[in-house]
Copies of this chain bind each other. A is one copy, B any other.
């Protein structure tokens, strides 16, 4: 994605997502800040929580306050998971800002069989939403197959998440 694509994207998309590798693409942030679309801003692989908020400022400074912050795992020395999910980012961000905070456990751990426990943990920690990758046939996916749930497993997970949400006083 690049500033020249924004007009065509705005014509079709309901939400614009700024990927982790573009979190500090400041010109792009300013351009989406001029639109009136909600923006999902994903935390960079080695961005601190403060860095993420400073990037959100680039969007807000152009007038667009519809910003959704997204934790998706940070880069650490651990190799058992694709990234290390910093779930504490959710309660920390909720203390620092009024913006909604969502979590992407699929990228965070990178393995489908860890997505369910990490989704529950995210909701229990206070996240306002989740991005979960689902694929009809993960083994045939061109990318991110190993972290994708099949629809039936997603269905089960949603029912389980509803219970966790209620346990922490939220509804789904």
Contacts and interface: CB of A to CB of B under 8 A. Distances in A.
Interface of A: 1-4, 21-22, 24-28, 44-46, 48-50, 74-81, 84-92, 95, 108-109, 113-114, 117-118, 120-126, 160, 163-164, 166-168
A120 B168 contact: yes
What is the total number of copies of this protein in its complex? 4
Contacts of A78: 48-49, 74, 86
Contacts of A124: 117, 120-121, 123-125, 164
B74 A84 contact: yes
Given A76-B84, A84-B88, 8 more contacts: A2-B25, A3-B3, A22-B25, A45-B46, A46-B75, A48-B80, A90-B117, A117-B124
A164 B74 CA distance: 26
Given A122-B121, A167-B164, A168-B120, A46 B77 contact: yes
